[in-house]
Amino acid sequence: MTRASHSPAGPDPSEGQIEEASPPSPSPGIVDVTKRFGAVRALGGVTLDFPRGQVTALMGENGAGKSTLLKILTGDHQPTQGHIVLGGERVVLDSPAKARTAGIRIIPQEPEIIPHISVAENVYAGALPRKSGRRFDRAELRRRIDADLARLGFADVLDPNLLGSQLTPAQRQLVEIMRALTGSTAATLIAFDEPTSSLAEHEVDALFALIRRLRDQGIAIVYVSHRMQEIFQLADRIAVLRDGSLVGVQQADTTNEAELVRLMVGRDLSTMFVRQRVATDRLVLDVKNLTTDDVHDISLRIHAGEVVGLAGLIGAGRSELALALAGDQPVHSGTATLDGVPLPSGRPGAVIRAGLGLAPEERKAQALFLQQSVRANISQVVLDRLRRSRFVRRTAERELAQHYTDRLRVRTPSIDHEVRKLSGGNQQKVVLARWLARKPKVLILDEPTRGIDVGAKAEIYQIIADLAADGVAVLVISSELPELLGLADRVVVMQGGRITGELNHGEATEETILQLAMADDIISTRTPGASS
């Protein structure tokens, strides 16, 4: 895999000009930084610079220390030992405000948008223009936002009058970027933390074009992502953390995925997709001509022990199909049966009792009770089995939660630990533990490894293989084609709310899947007998 040229391919949707940066100064960085939280060492003796005019990718498994490093740079945490260097001088950044004044910005993975105020007010929150007497100056606010939208090239994609609650995920990211690039102090270092997790492909292209422009203006860019393809598209150099230590810095054009994986996890994961094909002839899920508001004439069959991949571009209707099967979306016509019994439309509880489970795409918003414990999250769908009279048998609940926590190797201090405090990979394992406890006949996994590091991905893949070996019919929705190709016995492709084709394991490639995903004609090109 090769790294893209510094010049973005195709038209640049962000053609506005950013002010010329000041003459280059010594690179910002950290020197011998250690951070401890009680007895836990999050970082240990890390020395790393971030050259101006370059993109430094920061990689590592969840818990490797990436977030702690960013929070030290932005003043949210103070190092236990070591220091930060800016402009060739040792500095103390003991608050986010001081870090911002020093020119350090971060674009968080989950933008913090105030829902009831406008885009313009969100961008300048905390620094709104005032008239004499401290009255809010709306005219000056409008002048500033119009000028900054034009300067950054966002005028055609971001309405300054929209409320925060009306913004799409991509627009929320743009608001955070505007916050980082406005103000009285020029940015010298900007960190992007998993910025593409909720963006469509064309929005990712626009973001990458902007990052390249910022880099070419002499700003130091730190880019955090688990997506290898993005890293090789953007990065000049790649720094890898493992267990809080810096284990290597590689030039992007002289390394490869296998080397980075070995650095991140300390072992070779080349066999992580290896599994026996255990599909049987027993038909479990049979969908015929299913139609909802979002999907049309869907016919799909999945057998016991079979892993079927569901591919398609964003907006293809994959998640909408999953929600319809799970009873969360009304079905207008067609049928879905599980072991020959019709699945009820619009009744999620009845669908679960029938034997179908769904691990949705947005685990934090749609699957987890973040303020509750690991134990409570795992037991949610089996409380009917744990009750005696009207009361939950707490001993049985604890034994069940501990069993599946151990089985899936969920890294948590205890089953009473709040699930919001776990890493993304461990949160996903909690969701899977919930469904393993329910013992479903069909399990739908929507983007099961989104935002999860490569080591945790390997563990999720093994869980999926174990489910298939136990006879569960598994439907995996994923935007990562190598993942689908490695996991699935068959790949079903959707576009425009319809199935455009099915490919058996031996004939599915990234090219054939993309051809079906981008088909101009919504005409089924199924492989004969693929779903029989």
For the stretch 12-52, pLDDT in tens is 433 444 444 444 567 899 999 999 888 778 899 999 999 99
Q: What is the pLDDT of residues 243-292, one digit of tens each?
A: 889 999 999 999 998 888 888 877 665 566 766 778 889 999 999 999 99
Would you state the torsion angle of the CA atoms of residues 354, 355, 356, 358, taken in this order, to the nearest 10 degrees? 120
Q: What is the pLDDT of residues 370-380, one digit of tens each?
A: 899 999 999 98
Q: What is the pLDDT of residues 75-96, one digit of tens each?
A: 999 999 999 999 889 999 999 8
Min mean pLDDT across 339-353, 389-403, 511-525 is at 511-525
Residue count of the chain, please give it.
532
Please list, in sequence order, all residues whose beta carbon lies within 8 angstroms of the beta carbon of residue 292, skipping any fewer than 6 positions away. Answer: 320, 324, 329, 330, 331, 332
Strand order in the sheet with 442-446: 356-359, 442-446, 473-477, 307-311, 490-495, 498-504
pLDDT cut 90: percent of the chain above it: 44
428-452 mean pLDDT: 89
| pLDDT at residue 11, as a whole number | 36
Q: How far apart are CA 518 and CA 9, in angstroms?
A: 20
pLDDT at 138 over 80: yes
Min mean pLDDT across 67-76, 180-189, 229-238, 289-298 is at 180-189
Q: What is the pLDDT of residues 90-114, one digit of tens each?
A: 999 999 889 988 989 888 877 788 9
Nearest to 234 by CA among 7, 19, 446: 7
| pLDDT at residue 278, as a whole number | 81
3-state secondary structure 196-240: CCCCCHHHHHHHHHHHHHHHHCCCEEEEECCCHHHHHHHCCEEEE
Asked whether the beta carbons of 345 and 330 are under 8 A apart, the reply is yes
pLDDT at 409 over 90: no
521 or 510: whose pLDDT is higher? Answer: 510
Q: Which CATH class is domain 29-113+176-265?
A: alpha beta
**Helices and strands in the chain: count of H runs, count of E runs:** 17, 22
Task: CATH 3.40.50.300 in the chain: give the residue spans.
Answer: 29-113+176-265, 269-355+440-532
pLDDT at 529 over 50: no
| pLDDT at residue 443, as a whole number | 95
Q: 161 to each of 16, 78, 174, 179, 309, how far by Cα in Å? A: 20, 38, 14, 16, 41
Looking at the DSSP bridge assignments, the partners of residue 495 are 498
492-514 mean pLDDT: 90
396 or 423: whose pLDDT is higher? Answer: 396
Q: Which CATH fold would you assign to the domain 269-355+440-532?
A: Rossmann fold (3.40.50)
**Cβ count within 10 A of residue 39:** 5
166-190 mean pLDDT: 82
Q: What is the DSSP letter of 364?
A: I
